[in-house]
Chains A and B, each alone.
Chain A
Amino acid sequence: MDINEFIKKIEEEFSDLEPGKLKPESKFREMFEWNSINALILIALVSTEYDITLNAEDITKSVTVQDIFNIIKSRITK
């Protein structure tokens, strides 16, 4: 799996995001108005697309898109 694919899926889900602006090193809390609903949307996206469960702690300790992607990747390869 590829991070650019993951970013593309995030961009499709969050219509507020300008395409091409989100990068692996982007701090997702600064990219758009981050709140608990957006956290749930992200968790839902990851669950449906990758069959991986992200919990509240995973989101809290992650800063960038890459951080989230790394968690997904580590759980897929397990």
Chain B
Amino acid sequence: MALFSISGIRIAGMAACVPNTIYQNSDYKWISKKERELLIKTTGVKQRRLADDKTTTSDLCFTAAEKLIKDSGWNKEEIEILIFVSQSRDYPIPSTSCILQDRLKLSKKCLTLDINLGCSGYVYGLSVIASMMQCSGIKKGLLLVGDISTKHVSYRDKSAFPLFGDAGTATLIESSDDKAKIGFNLQTDGSGYDAIIIPEGGMRNHISLKSFEYKKISPGIYRHKIHLVLDGIKVFNFALSEVIPTINELLTSEKLTIEKIDYFILHQANLLINESLRKKLKLPKEKTPITIDKFGNTSCASIPLTIVSELNKQVRKEKLKFLLSGFGIGLSWGAVCIDLDSIICPELIEY
């Protein structure tokens, strides 16, 4: 069971960057006004940020990282690990993390790694960077997490288009003398790999001219094979059955209770999933901030984006106990229990 803890590592700072273009879902003319209203009410997504055709995830992460490194006063030479978590890389190959090492002017002594995960990506990325730093003795690291998911979806697919938003984030990780532990619980169920999938364009189903032929799937849903497919009912049932036991197992192993956690940051999937999870876990609303209304589902960026957007002032001044939970594509999910103690956290950046 991937239930473990790491000590001697802390989060030193967190920043998030979103494109400045706002898309209002009330303007989504592909479906009727009545359906739009029901969709906004159920998914909770009123508006979201859309990257233009020239902007990549790495651009958003780079901007967040530059600001954060400047505010922290860190010497770039000291950063010896960079991890980039995303499902929207600059190129099929090479890894985007290599490009970011150069662009950020980090030392050649820096190890870099791409991780291909979506909604669970922040929790997984944190576990990898913290583990590697702990066993290597590296003192300073940079975790860049984000996605431009809006380019993966068909405009004529009402089941996916109105849900997603774009964002990039940066988190500074450093070694610390503090005895506080970071507890992780990470899990996978690959039998649900097709619940969220882009079917063609990889090695299993090569890209061809046919890949771009639009097909009617059902009323209001037209897409081709390079578009993202989202099976709403499968994802909903997965989230409702797996996320809660994973959180409860982690709380038990960390000898914690819900009352002792200051904030629960759940991946912002959609309001129906998030509210169902919150009610079943019996979490108070004020401990469970929501940003799905402003940014939509921003994939792996949603957890740090929610902290930066909603709790910016608190995390700068106080020591707070967080439980972060990411879940989705893979199917992959995980939870982490971590303290944020007076971290550097600039206001949300617009690109």
Contact = CB atoms under 8 A, between A and B. Distances in A.
B35 A36 contact: no
Interface in A52-72: 53-56, 59
Interface string A24-60: 0000000001011111110110011001011110010
Contacts of A59: 233
Contacts of A53: 237, 240-241
A33 B34 contact: yes
Interface stretch (B167-175, B272-280, B283-291, B294-302): B272-280
What size tier do the contact residues of chain B reach?
A: 20 to 34
B41 to A, nearest CB: 9
Interface string B13-42: 000000000000000000000110011001
B245 interface: no
A43 B34 contact: no
B131 interface: no
Nearest to A53: B237
A60 to B, nearest CB: 10
Interface residues of A, number: 18
B201 interface: no
B288 to A, nearest CB: 15
Given A43-B233, A44-B276, A48-B276, A37 B240 contact: no
Do most interface residues of chain B lie in helix, strand or loop, or is the interface mixed?
helix
A36 B157 CA distance: 13
B159 A44 contact: no
B274 to A, nearest CB: 11
B279 A39 contact: no
Contacts of A41: 42, 272
Nearest to B232: A40
A35 B38 CA distance: 10
A50 to B, nearest CB: 11
Interface in B233-271: 233-234, 236-237, 240-241
A44 B233 contact: no
A35 B272 CA distance: 15
Interface string B34-56: 11001100100000000000000
B280 A48 contact: yes
B272 A39 contact: no
B38 A44 contact: no
Contacts of B38: 35, 37-38
Nearest to B34: A33
Most A CB within 10 A of own CB, among B38, B39, B159? B38
A40 B275 CA distance: 13
B39 A40 contact: no
A45 B276 CA distance: 8
B39 A44 contact: no
Contacts of A36: 159, 218, 232-233
A38 B42 CA distance: 9
B29 to A, nearest CB: 18
B189 to A, nearest CB: 15
A9 B241 CA distance: 22
Contacts of B218: 36
Contact of B42 (A33, A40, A55): A40
B34 A55 contact: no
B88 to A, nearest CB: 26
B291 to A, nearest CB: 20
Contacts of A56: 233-234
Interface of A: 33, 35-41, 43-44, 47-48, 51, 53-56, 59
Interface of B: 34-35, 38-39, 42, 159, 218, 232-234, 236-237, 240-241, 272-273, 275-276, 279-280
List of 4 A-B pairs having minimum Cβ-Cβ separation, nearest first: A56-B233, A44-B276, A47-B240, A37-B42
Given A36-B218, A36-B232, A41-B272, 10 more contacts: A36-B159, A37-B35, A38-B38, A39-B233, A44-B236, A44-B272, A47-B240, A47-B280, A53-B240, A55-B237
